[in-house]
Amino acid sequence: MSAPSSQPTPEAPHPSVLIIYTGGTLGMRAGRHGLTPAGDIESRLTHALGQLPLSQQQALPPYEVFSYPDLIDSSAITPGHWTQLANDIAQRIADYQGVVVIHGTDTLSWTAASLAYQLQGLDRAVILTGAMQPLEAPDSDALDNLYGALRCAREPGMQEVAIYFHGKLLRGARATKQHSEAVDAFSSPNYPLLGERVGDDIVHYPSRSLAEQQRGAPRFELPDYNALGEGAIIRLALWPGITAWQLAAWLDDSRVKGGLLQLWGAGNLPDDPSLLAVLAKASGEGKLLAAISQCPQGSIHLGAYAAGQGLHDAGVLSGDDMTPEAAFGKLVHLAAQPLSEDDRRQRFLMPLVGER
Ligand code: ASN
């Protein structure tokens, strides 16, 4: 898969929005062992969107559908899928007004964060959506989510990867799944909404968008995450009583190239020098280590407490107020590129797509 040969030309956009279907509950049907991804999505979408009130139908852009042949429950997603999806979007986006990705909700925010890093410099919208109930289920949230996502995808001021779900437009690299059952399943704990649905309209807040802040020169960064091999970046949340040998069991493995630590509160670790020694050894071997909080809201401040003092010296980078999805996705993204260790560390600490 290769990057597009030319960048999109905003002066002459194609009127359609491209819908990319990856699977997820939105398109599932009941099978013998429970809900399972189902195809025939184009005619199902036409039928479902045709049930909307006429005024809403008229407000929708025309669309084309690209469906993956192997549809998945998003719990099966891997960084390899993120690479594939980013490449497929990069190859096609210049021909469309924007892109909607239909994705399972379980890992939707992980994919959104990864796409944000890979599709830096977008000059139009890539909107991920899904549903908690299948399209054909009674009172499903699917149709409203599709309606909103299609409207957002053609919004000219939207020039980033975002999630539209239950009336809210969230920055992709700031969002997280907050509920396993409710239709209001996503939140953006440390960044305000990019927009929201008001009646039949979508209100967009341009001053919060990447287009206003730091879009920069259009460029895509499409590294091959497969090249990292399975499991090169790990994620580990502290628990009371964690020991150095347990931490070492993850970090000493030569296949591991980096890791995300989820610390206590504002960035604290148990008062145990042997834990810091394991971290310092891994950093010394060139492994990229970063830390965020286990708290869903707020930031870490390494060294604010004595209990967090040694982390900086052990080479652990502050992930500030990033979501686990954004911090983990950034480690994967940086580790997959031919960068020096210093460059990786520097880029981790600077905001690339408004993720921190
Ligand atoms: N397990 C489903 C998925 O992530 C959940 C959903 O889409 N609501 O594919």
Reported as a single tens digit per residue, the pLDDT across 68-100 is 999 999 999 999 999 999 999 999 999 999 999
- 28 phi/psi in degrees, rounded to 5: -80, 160
**Where would I find the beta strands (DSSP E) of 55-212?**
63-72, 98-102, 125-129, 161-165, 168-171, 176-177, 186-187, 195-198, 201-204
Among 6-10, 28-32, 75-79, 218-222, name the one with the lowest average pLDDT: 6-10
Q: Is 201 annotated as a binding residue?
A: no
Mutate to test the pocket of ligand 1, among 35, 71, 105, 325 (most ligand atoms within 8 A of CB): 105
Q: What are the extents of the domains in the chain?
A: 17-213, 233-349
Q: How much distance in Å is there from the Cα of 269 to the middle of ligand 1?
A: 34
- 119/68 Cα distance (integer angstroms): 20
Q: How much distance in Å is there from the Cα of 74 to the middle of ligand 1?
A: 6
- 287/280 Cα distance (integer angstroms): 10
Mean pLDDT of all residues in 256-266: 97
Active-site residue identified among 22, 83, 105, 107: 105
| Tokens 């600077």 found at | 350
Q: Letter for the amino acid at 14?
A: H
Higher pLDDT, 175 or 217: 175
Options 3.40.50.40, 3.40.50.2000, 3.40.640.10, 3.40.50.720; which CATH number does 233-349 get? 3.40.50.40
Q: Which atom of ligand 1 is nearest to the CA of 131?
A: 8
CA distances from residue 241 to 237, 246, 247 in whole angstroms, order as listed: 12, 10, 11
- 119/94 Cα distance (integer angstroms): 12
Active site residue 78: no
Mean pLDDT of all residues in 294-305: 91
- 251/246 Cα distance (integer angstroms): 9
Q: Which atom of ligand 1 is nearest to the CA of 185?
A: 8
Kindly tell me if the per-residue pLDDT of 11 is higher than 70. no
Q: Which atom of ligand 1 is nearest to the CA of 25?
A: 7
- 116/94 Cα distance (integer angstroms): 17
Residues with CB under 6 A from ligand 1: 24-25, 73-75, 104-106, 130, 132
Active-site residue identified among 25, 107, 129, 323: 25
Relative to beta strand 195-198, strand 201-204 is antiparallel
- The predicted pLDDT at position 215 comes to 59
Q: Is 105 annotated as a binding residue?
A: yes
Kindly tell me if the per-residue pLDDT of 238 is higher than 70. yes
- 282/316 Cα distance (integer angstroms): 10
Tens of pLDDT, residue by residue over 13-67, are: 558 999 999 999 999 999 999 999 999 999 999 999 999 999 999 999 999 999 9
- The predicted pLDDT at position 216 comes to 60
- 91/66 Cα distance (integer angstroms): 12
CATH number of 17-213: 3.40.50.1170
Active site residue 25: yes
Q: How much distance in Å is there from the Cα of 270 to the middle of ligand 1?
A: 36
Q: What is the pTM of this model?
A: 0.94
- The predicted pLDDT at position 5 comes to 38
- The predicted pLDDT at position 165 comes to 98
Mutate to test the pocket of ligand 1, among 70, 73, 102 (most ligand atoms within 8 A of CB): 73
- 128/109 Cα distance (integer angstroms): 9
Q: How much distance in Å is there from the Cα of 131 to the middle of ligand 1?
A: 8
- 186/168 Cα distance (integer angstroms): 8
Q: Which atom of ligand 1 is nearest to the CA of 24?
A: 9
Q: Is 46 annotated as a binding residue?
A: no
Q: How much distance in Å is there from the Cα of 352 to the middle of ligand 1?
A: 28
- 286/149 Cα distance (integer angstroms): 41
Q: Provide the residue count of the chain.
A: 356
The single-letter DSSP state of residue 205 is -
Mean pLDDT of all residues in 230-240: 94
